[in-house]
Each structure stands twice: as C-alpha cells, then as structure tokens.
Amino acid sequence: MPGFYKSYSNAMDRHVPTSHLGAPTNPMVARQLDEFGKLLNQGIKNIEIGTIDPTKFEQIPQQHFDEVRRLAKLTDSHPSVHAPLLDLAGFPTQEGERGWKEEQRESTENQVFSILERSFKLSNGENVPVVFHAGRTKTQEYGKPWDPNKPQEKGYKREIMNEKGERVILPSQYKSLIAVNQDTGEMTQLNYEEKYRVGEKEIGKAPEVWDPFKKLKSINSTQWDEEKLKLLQHQKDIGELKEKFELKQKQNEAILKTGLGNMDLYKTMLESNQRDLILLERHLKEINRKMSSDYENTYDKFVRFADKKADSRTMEEVKKMNEIHRQIEKEIIKRREDQQKLSENVQKTKSMEEQQKMIEQIQRKDKEILDLTLEQSKVAVTAVAGLPVPEIWKPAKDLALEKTTDTVANAIAKLYKKVKQENPGKESTIPFIAMENFFVDTPMSRGKDLKEAVLGAREKLAEKLAKECNLPKEKAGKEAEKLIGATWDVGHINNLRKSGYEGEELKKEVLKDTKEVADVVKHVHITDNFGFFDSHLPPGMGNVPIREIMENLEKTWAEMEKAGKLHQRPRGIVEAGGFVAEIGQNPTLGILEYFGSPLYKISESPYFSSVAGRSVGNTYSPYFESFIDFPQQHFNLYGSSFTTLPKSVGGQVGGETSRFSGTPNQ
C-alpha cells in the first residue's frame, strides 16, 4: 500500500513515512555511485540515479550499476533511474537539426534498450522504475479557452461546421500547434488568428476564427491540391506533345505522298520533322515516366496518411482505376517493344517497299502509344480526383504520441525477449518504463495525452510479447500493464500557469489532469514552483497543490490495490535540486516537515511537522529558522545537514577558524 496520506482526518494532519519518499542524485555528473552513497548517508531509502546529458549517462561504468544494487540490498533501499533527455519519437534534439526522422527514432530506440539493459542490473527482485520524458520537442502552446458565459473575457476558440453546414464556435485550448509533414519530416508552426474577410469589418461582422486545426486542414488541402495539379499538368503536357507529334507526322506523310521528298526544300523539312519526332518521342517517354512515378507517390501518400477517411465505394473505384492504369502501362510497354523490333528490321531490309511499310507500322505504333499515354494520364487524374484529403501534415503532438509508443514497446519487448532467453525466470523483474510529463508545450504533457500514450504502448507491447515471446494473450496484457506506466511530475503540470490560469482555476486544471492520469501513474516526481519555470523547490515553497495531488493519487492507488492491480508501491521522488544549487541548503528536513513524516519508524509520533505544539499549518517552525547565512566552515566540517542548527547552538561562527581552536560562539 502506498500510504501517502492514510487514516487521518484531514490533509493538514496526515503524515508520509520517510520510506515512501526519495531523492535524486546530482543529475549533472556521471559519479552516480558516489552520489548514491551520499544520499544513503542521509538515511534516504528511495534514490533516483541518472544524468540529464546522454553523453554523461554513457560515462557511468556498468560496474557502478552492480555496486549500486549491492549497496541497495545491504541498506534495504530502492534505486530508480532517471534516463537522460532523449526524444523518444525521433524529433530533433541537437541545435541545428531540423525535422522529424524515423531513422532518429530507431536510433533512440536502441539507446532506450541500452539504458533498460543497464538498469536491469539494479534489480533486487523488483521492477526498477526507469523514467523517460515522454516528449521533449515543442509541439503546442496552450491558452485559456474562450468561455461563452464570460463574453467580456478573451480566450481561444475553435470554429467547426455542424451537420447543417452552420458555423459553430467552440472553446479551444490551443494558441498554436506545430505540424509535421509525415512524408518529409518538415515542421511548421500554426498560430491562432482571427481574420476579417474583405468588407466584413465595416459592416460589423465578427472576424473569422482560424484556429490551428483549421489552418492544418487548409495546408493539407493545399498540399493535396498540389499533388493533383502535378498530374493535371502531366496530362496537359502529354496532350500538347501529342498534338505536335501528330502535326509533324502529317506533314511528313503529305510530303511523301505528293512525291515532293526529292526537292531540297521539302527534303530538309522532312529531315527536320524526323529529328523533331525523335525528340518529341523522348520527351513523351520522360513525361510518361514522371507521371507514373508521381501517380504512384500520390497514391502511396493517400494510403499511408488517409487515416481511413475514404469510404469503401470510393476505394473500390480507385482499385479499378489502378488496375486500368497498370493494364495501359503494359500495353504501352508492348507497343514500344514492337516498335523496337520494326526499327531493327527496317535496317536489315533492302527492299524500299518493305521499308516503307515498316515505317508506316512504326508511325501507327507511335500514334497508339500517344493515345494510350494520354488515356493513362486521364485515368491517373480521375483516380486521384475522387480521393479525400489525406493527413499529410499532422499535429506533431499526435505523431509524437504514436512514435513514442513504438519506441517504448519495441525497447521493452527486445529486453524481455533477451532476458527470457539468457536468464529464464528473470524476465518478471526487468525494469519498467515510467513516461514522464515534461513541460506543458511538449507532447504528452497533459494527463489525458500521457494516459493515452501509456495505454497505446501497453497495447503494442502486449502484441509483441504474444507474438515474439509466445506469451498467452492474457499474460502478455498483464506483463505490458506491469512494464509500462507514467511518472507524474507535479511541478511540470503546474506550468499551465503560463497559459493564463491563476489561483483556484489553476489548481482545478492541475487536479483535473491528475485524476485523468492517476490510474496509470507508477512513479511521482514531487517539486514545487510558481507556475512559470521548473524551479525545483522543496514542497511548500511554491504554489503547486502537492497535498491535493497526492491525495488524488493515493485514493486511486488504494482502489487499484483493492482490485489487485497495484503491482508495486509507487515512489515519490522529491526533486529539489534547484533549491540546493541556488540557496545552498539541504532540503531534507524541510521535505520531511512538509509531509509530516514521523521521527521514528516504529512510532506514529512525534512528527517533523509538529514540534512543541507547532504544526505545518503555522508560519513558524524549526525549519524556517534555518533561513540564515552560514559560514563555509560549517559545511566543510559537518556537511550540509549542519545548516539546520539555530544560531543559539552554533549556527554562526566568526572568523576563519574552527570553534574547536578556541574561537567563541558569535
């Protein structure tokens, strides 16, 4: 049982055991074994190791993972891993890189597998949580939705057409979206706008709403029109070439029939026309090849990106057109082969009469090829014209979700298969991935989207485990549920304040997202801020509703445990590195005070939150006395924990010498 807030009458009097809290190591260095030891010395049981920089993570020797596992077993502590900053979907991570690439996603998948493989070394019979940020690149910008009940307030809207063809305005939460071309990987930003049509402002008409989704629909339509226009242009070019070709042929036929071919003027014209016919034929072949290629590419884009938008009747018609297109292509190839044979025979035949007949046959083949080529172009245009607009451009947040689930499922399946083969029976203890919501402008940063990613990855993993590891379908589903979950970072979601939410409105939005994701949360990052930056303050020093968030999660976990669906006790890792770095104080006592942790494991009291009758709810407590400057000697001599002493018992030392050398207390 997680037991964050358990069997107490109200939130202010509830207490969190120290065994349910944890802390991260310094994520800026590769010396994770040393960092692990420092936290053990402070009595911390849940320790999250890892680095932000992928290159530093690669500098951690594998032997250090083994040593961390041994130390954890000796001290009855529980390690977890925070993986470095990667983009699991394949979006650019380096400055100067542009666009999404499937190759980059595949490379990242290999990295994820490697991290999981090393994290497996940390297991002492449990599934070690490995945290990956679900998304890293910017994919959207949120804003407060328009509220029809508050017409005086501004907000973001979405315009749709209802079944009657009427324009309907709905609330929207998006100020902008990043769209990605699924074919090329190109990315573009679509911003919210309200635009007047010509003359509408003068007559007092409301501006037209161009929300990001409407713009997305527009660029997809434009892209598809361009695809179709290429085919139309090929059809037009073929028609024009056919006219020129036939004109030259008729001129030559007239010259030969009238017997004028021996006259110098007409002889020259005949030779010039013949050269032109050869050039026109070559040009026609090139256009025909380009048209066939463009048609295949266009149809391929539709098949890949249509998202099942075409009805079955339309698709049947397209299949028929495709078959006709292929049959015409075969006929064109056959006639060109016949032409080639006739041309070879013309050179072998000495009879002028026979040569003339063969030349006439070649010319007829030319005409047939021209007619077939033009007909083929019409078929291509007709086939594509009937297709609905495919989603060539897609919201980057949606593509990120889809590709992230591929990466997560594939990497875990690969490790599961390897462990099952090399260490039978140990596959039940491989690490699980806990995808973390990152900054609110990144993919899967909201509760609903993060849950969708977890469920999608579980579904894909279950399919792979059943197929590649021969697991029964039911067991594959249970394993997938155990091996993929979410890390809910309470500080990251609080950055919704940047979107315009304030006070109770902000808290309501944060708690709504928490409830939406709660049943897939397996890990928690606890940190405080004021809603604009990821400040990494200890709990209680910002405006994140941490107690309410934890209560919501605890309630869900209790229900899951009752239903037998809580595979492992979730851990709360308190990320207060920003406070340590900037203020220079150890936050541990403040954290224990905030959560009202008991001083002794075997007793319910006293608690860090209540000393001499004072509780967390008051503004005065022993912890807050420590906001004073301390000389560096105290840090050097006693370590950072000495900073919690009040002045009256040695909190200040004058001069540069130790008190043990005779310097009196100041």
H or E element in which residue 157 lies: strand 157-161
In this prediction, residue 346 carries a pLDDT of 74
Give residues with Cβ within 8 angstroms of 306, minimum separation 6.
387, 388, 390, 391
Give 240 or 255, the one with higher predicted confidence. 240
Structure confidence by residue, pLDDT tens digits, 429-438: 999 999 999 9
In degrees rounded to 5, what are phi and psi of residue 333?
Answer: -60, -45
Which residue would you say has higher pLDDT here, 411 or 168?
A: 411
Q: Are residues 194 and 304 in the same domain?
A: no
pLDDT at 412 (0 to 100) = 98
For residue 509, what are the domain limits? Answer: 11-137+394-598
Instruction: Give yes or no: residues 382 and 490 share one domain.
Output: no
Number of domains, the chain:
3
465 and 381 together in one domain: no
User: Does one domain contain both 318 and 459?
Assistant: no
pLDDT of 153: 79
pLDDT tens digit sequence for 23-32: 999 999 999 9
Choose one of 357, 391, 425: the last residue of a domain.
391
Q: For 229-243, 466-480, 487-501, which range has the lowest pLDDT when averaged over its residues? A: 229-243
Here the tokens at position 542 are 């910002």
Helix (DSSP H) and strand (DSSP E) numbers for the chain: 17, 16
Position 611 pLDDT exceeds 70: no
Furthest C-alpha separation in the chain? 130
Q: Is residue 604 part of a domain?
A: no
Establish if 3 belongs to a structural domain: no
Domain CATH for 558: 3.20.20.150
Are both 232 and 374 inside the same structural domain?
yes
Distance between CA 595 and CA 72 in Å, rounded? 24
Closest by CA to 113, choosing from 402, 416, 403, is 416
Structure confidence by residue, pLDDT tens digits, 635-644: 555 555 544 5
Does 387 share its domain with 401?
Answer: no
Inside any domain, residue 258: yes
The answer to the question of residue 641 being in a domain is no
pLDDT digits (tens, 9 = 90+) for 505-523: 999 999 999 999 999 999 9
Q: Which amino acid is at 314?
A: T
Is the predicted pLDDT of residue 661 greater than 50, yes or no?
no
Can you tell me the distance from the alpha carbon of 226 to that of 235, in angstroms, rounded to the nearest whole number?
Answer: 14
Same domain? For 426 and 493 the reply is yes
Strand partners, 607: 598, 610
Helix (H) or strand (E) holding 131, with range, is: strand 129-133
For residues 204 and 416, is the Cβ–Cβ distance under 8 A?
A: no
At residue 94 the predicted structure's pLDDT band, cuts being 50, 70 and 90, is: confident
- Domain boundary, last residue among 598, 613, 646: 598
Distance (Å, rounded) from C-alpha 666 to C-alpha 664?
A: 6
Say yes or no to pLDDT of 467 above 80: yes
- Please, what is the average pLDDT of the chain? 84
User: What is the mean predicted confidence (pLDDT) over 486-491?
Assistant: 98
The whole-angstrom separation of Cα 174 and Cα 139 is: 11
Residue 656 has pLDDT above 60, yes or no: no
User: Considering the chain, what percentage of its residues have pLDDT values greater than 90?
Assistant: 50
Has residue 7 got a pLDDT over 50? no
Q: Is residue 603 part of a domain?
A: no
**Cα–Cα distances in Å, from 94 out to 208, 440, 555?**
38, 20, 41
Cα 660 vs. chain centroid, distance in angstroms?
A: 58
Query: Do 435 and 549 belong together in one domain?
Result: yes
Nearest-angstrom CA–CA distance, 447 and 77: 30
Nearest CA to 498 among 148, 175, 211, 179? 175
Compute the Cα dihedral for 538, 542, 546, 547 and give only its sign.
positive
Cβ neighbours around 612 below 10 Å, total:
7
Question: Are residues 145 and 104 part of one domain?
Answer: no
294 — pLDDT class (breaks 50, 70, 90): confident
pLDDT beyond 80 at 160: yes
| Residue 6 or residue 138, greater confidence | 138
Alpha carbons 179 and 393: distance in angstroms, whole number: 6
Q: Is there a single domain that holds both residue 335 and residue 413?
A: no
Structure tokens at 298: 């266009």
Within a domain: 441: yes
Q: Are residues 54 and 26 in the same domain?
A: yes
627 occurs within a structural domain: no
Instruction: Say which residues have a Cβ less than 8 Å from residue 305's Cβ, sequence separation at least 6.
Output: 182, 183, 390, 391, 392, 394
Q: Characterize the bridge pairing of strands 174-181 and 393-395.
A: antiparallel
Distances (CA, A) of 71 to 47, 67, 124, 428: 12, 6, 11, 22
What local confidence, expressed as pLDDT, does residue 22 receive?
92
Q: Beta strand pairing status for 571-574 and 187-191?
A: unpaired
Q: Which of 164, 193, 215 marks a domain boundary?
A: 215
Q: How confident is the model at residue 47 (pLDDT cuts 50, 70, 90)?
A: very high
Handedness of CA 578, 583, 586, 588 (dihedral sign): negative
613 pLDDT above the threshold of 50: no
The C-alpha atoms of residue 159 and residue 179 are separated, in whole angstroms, by 19
Angstrom distance (rounded) from CA 2 to CA 569: 5
* Per-residue pLDDT, 648: 47
Q: How far apart are CA 658 and CA 664, in angstroms?
A: 9
Residue listed under structure tokens 């992928």: 54
- Please say if the pLDDT value at position 498 is more than 90: yes
Q: Is residue 545 part of a domain?
A: yes
Distance CA 279, CA 545 (A): 76
Query: pTM of the entire structure?
Result: 0.82
Based on the domain organization, do 220 and 210 belong to the same domain? no
